[in-house]
Structure 1
Amino acid sequence: MVLKPPGEPVTVAVVGAGQRGRGYAMYALMDPSACKIVAVAEPRPKTRKSIVEAHRIDQSLVFNSWEDLHAASTETIKTVGTRLADAIIVAVHDKMHMAVVLAFAEQGYHILCEKPMATDLGECIKMAAAVKKAGIIFGMGHAVLRYSPYSKELAEIVHSGRLGKLINVVHIEPVGHYHFAHSYVRGHWAKESKSSFSLMTKSCHDIDIICSWLSPAAPTRVSSFGSLQHFRKEGKPATAGNASRCLDCPIERECPYSAKKIYLDPVSRGSTGWPVSTIVDGIPDIENITEALQTGPYGKCVYESDNDVVDNQVVNIEFDSGATCSFTMVAFTTLICERQTRLHFTHGEIVGDMSTFTVTDFRERPMRPVVHRPKNEGGGHGGGDLGLIRTFIEAVRTGRQELLGTDVDEVLKSHVAVFAAERSRREGKVVDVVEFEDVARQRALCL
C-alpha cells in the first residue's frame, strides 16, 4: 500500500537532535522531495535552534522534550484526527528508547530508532511486541552497516552462493584509541548504569552484520571474554602527579588521550566536526571548548574518569548451521571503526576492510583474486547512515517493511545474541542462546 505518492515528502519528527538525529535529518536537505523535517524535540537550546533554522521548522512544532511532543500529538489526534508527522526518528539517550518508542508506536507513527534497541533485554522484548501490535514500519540504527554500498555489494556475493557455504567469520572492530576515550571513557557511554555495556553500545552493529551474513542460520551458543584493562586509576602515569584535568597536566603533550589534543587543537585549526561538535551546545569555538575542558567530563584525565565499561572484548558464536564466528572489539588502534573482516566459504574467501574487499574462488586455475571497490556516497558508517535513512523513508512512503531487509523480530534476535555474549563474559560460561531468550521472554511476560 503506497502511503505517499512520489514527489510528496514523508514528514518526520526528530526526537533528539544530537549527532545521530541531525545526521539522519540531513537527508531531508539532500533530497527535499523524499522527506521533510516538520517537528523536533530537543532540550538543548542552541542545538534545538540550529536544527529548527536548518529545516525551517514552524515554532508550533518545536518542543523541549519528547513528552511535550507526545502531548501535542495526542491533542492533535484527538481534535483533528491526524498525527503531527508520518514518522519519528528516535535519537535520544539509550535508556530512553523504550519509553519513546512505545509512546509513539501506540499513536501509529513509523519509527527509526537509533541503536541500541534498548539497554535491557526485557525492554527489547516489550518494544518488539509493541511495534508488531502497532503494525508500523520499524527501522533500527544497529543495522546501519547493512546499508552502505560496500556492505550491500559484499552481501550480494555472500548470499548468492557463488563461493559455497559460509563456514566461518572473523571480524574485528578497531574502535580507535581517541574515539574510545571520547565516547566510552569521558562520554555518554562510559558508565553502564547510565547507558549499557560497551558490546551493546558500540558493537551491536557488528553482531548484526555477522548474523545477516549467516542468515537464515541463527546463533545457538556464545562465549565471551573481556575487561577494562587500561582506563583505570592505576594506569595513570606517576609523572602526571595529582592532575585530574588535561589542561593542568604536566605530561599532557605526551599523553595519547590528551583532551587538548583531541578537542582544543583541532578547533584552533578550524576543525569543528566530530568529536569536537558533540561536547558543547551550539557551534564549537575555542572559548566554549576551553570552558568545556575546564569544567566538564571531556576535559578530565582518562585515568580519573568515572568509567566502567570494558575496553576490549572477544565474542565467539556458533550458529545452528554449524558455522562459527569470532569477533573482537578493541579500543587500542589507529584505525577508527574501519572494520576488518574475513569470510571463509567452502569454495572461496572474502577479505575486506569497509572500503575494499577481495574475493577469491578456490576453484579457479590459476586463482585470480578480484578486488571490489564499491563507491562510497559519503557520510558515517561507510555511507550506511545515508543508506539507512533513505531506505527507511522509502519503506514508509510505500508501506513496505521488506525494503529495509530486516524486521523487528530479526532486530530482536541479534540483540539477544549481544545480551547473551555479555552474560557469558560476566559469568564465565558458554551461554545457550535459545534457552537464554526463552527465559528472558518468560520474565518479560511476567512483568
Structure 2
Amino acid sequence: MIQAALIGAGNRGFYAYGSYALRYPHEIQFIAVAEPDKEKRNKFAEAHGIPESRRFADWTELLEKEKLCEALLICSPDRDHYKPVMQAIEKGYSILLEKPMSPIPLETLEIAEAAEKHQTILTVCHVLRYAPFYQALKEIIDRKVIGDIVSVQWNENVGFYHQAHSFVRGNWRNSQESSSMILQKCCHDMDMLAWLIGTECKSVSSYGSLTYFKKENAPEGAALRCLDGCKVEKECPYSAAKWYLHDRDEWPANVITADSSLASRLKAIQEGPYGRCVYHCDNDVVDHQVVNLLFENEVTVSFTMTAFTKDICRHFKIMGTKGEIIGNDAKNELLINYFSGQTEMVHPATVKGGHMGSDTKIMADFIQRVNEKNHSSLTSARASAQSHMIAYAAEESRVTGKTISLEEYVANLKKEKAETV
C-alpha cells in the first residue's frame, strides 16, 4: 500500500481519484489534504480519516513540510498547477497531475523538463488513454486492420447542459481564470489523436467563437438569476432548478456544494455562480470550435467541439487504406468496415468508474508505477506536453486567424524561454 496526499479536494480530487482509496484501501491511503474551501477540506479528510494536523488550507503549507508520503495528487484549479508541481518534483514526490498541466505553454515545457531531469514519476490525467474503449481502438489501429490512416473526422459533443454547468456558470467559464476551451476540455482529444495516429503533428488551423451564451441572446423576461422571478425559467433547458434541485447524488447536482442537502443546494443556486442565468454570466470561452490538423505522412484530421448536442460523447470516423472505423464511446461501439466487404462490430470490455472506467484505470496504473518505481508512463509529462502544444497552437490559430506550424511554434517558445533566463 502507498500513502498519498491530495492538493485540491474538488470534484476530480474527491470523486474521481479520492474515491479509489475508499474502494481499494489496501492499495492507497490518503494521509494529508490541502484545500482552501473548509467544507471540502473537512469532507475529504473525514472520509479518509485524516487528522486535523494534516489538513491544510493552502498547498504551500503542505509542501513546506518534510516529504510526507510517496505520492502527491495535484487536482487544484488550472492556474494553480505549475508552482506546486515544480516544488513537488524538487521534494521527490511521485505525482499524479490533473490536466491541463498549465494554461501557459512555457510552464508546461518547464514541468516536462523538470520531471525528466529529476526522473520523477509524473502521470498527467489524460485519462482517456487508459479507457478500455480507447485502448481497444488503439490496438485495432496498430494491427493495421484498416491499413494506414489517411484521414480522421472527430467530434467532441460537450452536451448543452455540460457546457452550461462547467463552461458558462462553472469553474472553466473564463479563460483568464482557468484556460481556453480547446486546452481545458479538448486537450483530451488532441492527446488522443496524437496517440492514435502515432506521428508528429505538423500544422494547425482553427476557427471558433462564443456565439450563443451571451446577454444579447437572453429571452424576453429572463432574470439575472434563475430563481429571481425569471419568467421563462419553467421552459428554459438551462434552468438551475432543473439541474441542481433534483438527483442530489448525481452529477452535476452533487458538486455545487459540499453539503448535498436540498437546503444547501437551494442556497447555492440562490447565492452562488450556478444559479446565474446562462445568458448573464462572465463566461468568455467558446461554445463551438473546429480544428484542422496535419500530421506527418499527410494524415489530415477534422475536429469539432460543440456545446450544442443532447448527448455527451465522442464519435469519430477513422479512414484508412484498407477500411474505416466508426466509433461512439457513449455506445461503446467500434464498427470496422473493411473494403473487402466484411464488417465487424467490437464492444470493448467495460470498467466501473468515471470516463468509461479510465479514472479507475489511471489510478491503478499510477499506484503500480509508484510501487515498482517505474518512471515510464502512458501519459508522461513529456508526452502530455507534446499534445498540449497542439491545443495551444489551435488557440493561437483561432485568435490570430493564421495556420500555425508546430515546429515553429515550439521553437519560438524555447527561444522566448532562453531570452528570459
Q: TM-score, normalization: structure 1?
A: 0.91
1:347 aligns with 2:319: no
User: Aligned AA for 1:164?
Assistant: G
Deviations along 1:143-194, whole A, 9 cap, x unmatched? 2111111111111111122221111111101101011011111111111110
What is the CA–CA distance in structure 1 between the aligned matches of 2:107 and 2:321, rounded to whole Å? 39
Deviation at 1:279, TM superposition (A): 1.4
1:246 aligns with 2:219: no
What is the CA–CA distance in structure 1 between the aligned matches of 2:60 and 2:378, rounded to whole Å? 31
Equivalent residue number for residue 409 of structure 2: 436
1:14 aligns with 2:10: no
Q: SS in structure 2 opposite 1:350?
A: strand
User: Aligned AA for 2:383?
Assistant: E
2:309 to 333, 352, 368: 333
Equivalent residue number for residue 4 of structure 1: none
Q: SS in structure 1 opposite 2:25?
A: coil
Equivalent residue number for residue 179 of structure 2: 196
Equivalent residue number for residue 269 of structure 2: 293
1:372 aligns with 2:352: no
2:56 to 51, 54, 63: 63
User: Aligned AA for 2:137?
Assistant: L
Deviation at 1:360, TM superposition (A): 2.2
Q: Is the 8 A contact 2:5 2:33 kept in 1?
A: yes
Equivalent residue number for residue 154 of structure 1: 137
Equivalent residue number for residue 65 of structure 2: 72
Equivalent residue number for residue 263 of structure 1: 244
Q: Which runs of 5+ in 2 are unaligned?
A: none
Equivalent residue number for residue 272 of structure 1: 249
1:138 aligns with 2:112: no
What is the CA–CA distance in structure 2 between the aligned matches of 1:381 and 1:312, rounded to whole Å? 22
Deviation at 1:297, TM superposition (A): 1.2
Decide whether aligned partners of structure 1 residues 44 and 406 sit closer, same or farther in structure 2, where only a CA change above 3 A counts: closer
1:407 to 380, 384, 399: 380
Deviation at 1:356, TM superposition (A): 1.4
Q: SS in structure 1 opposite 2:176?
A: helix
Deviations along 1:307-359, whole A, 9 cap, x unmatched? 111000000000122111111100011112x1001111111111111111112
1:33 aligns with 2:38: no
Deviations along 1:364-391, whole A, 9 cap, x unmatched? xxx2321111222122111111111111
1:184 to 160, 167, 180: 167
Q: SS in structure 2 opposite 1:136?
A: coil
Q: Which runs of 5+ in 1 are unaligned?
A: 1-8, 74-82
Q: SS in structure 1 opposite 2:383?
A: helix
Give the alignment's Cα RMSD to 1 decimal: 1.3
Q: SS in structure 2 opposite 1:199?
A: helix
Q: Is the 8 A contact 1:171 1:326 kept in 2?
A: yes
Equivalent residue number for residue 360 of structure 1: 337
User: Aligned AA for 2:414?
Assistant: R
Q: SS in structure 2 opposite 1:194?
A: coil
Q: Is the 8 A contact 2:4 2:72 kept in 1?
A: yes
What is the CA–CA distance in structure 1 between the aligned matches of 2:168 and 2:286, rounded to whole Å? 10
Q: Is the 8 A contact 1:126 1:444 kept in 2?
A: no
1:120 aligns with 2:101: no
What is the CA–CA distance in structure 1 between the aligned matches of 2:408 and 2:123, rounded to whole Å? 27
User: Aligned AA for 1:358?
Assistant: L
Matched positions, count: 416
1:284 to 260, 267, 290: 260
What fraction of aligned residue pairs are identical, expressed as a percent?
38
Q: SS in structure 2 opposite 1:328?
A: strand
Deviations along 1:382-432, whole A, 9 cap, x unmatched? 111111111111111112233x32422211110011000111111111111
Q: SS in structure 1 opposite 2:278?
A: coil
Equivalent residue number for residue 289 of structure 2: 313
Q: TM-score, normalization: structure 2?
A: 0.96
What is the CA–CA distance in structure 2 between the aligned matches of 1:55 and 1:310, rounded to whole Å? 38
Equivalent residue number for residue 324 of structure 1: 300
Q: SS in structure 2 opposite 1:239?
A: coil
187-196 or 60-69: which moved more? 60-69
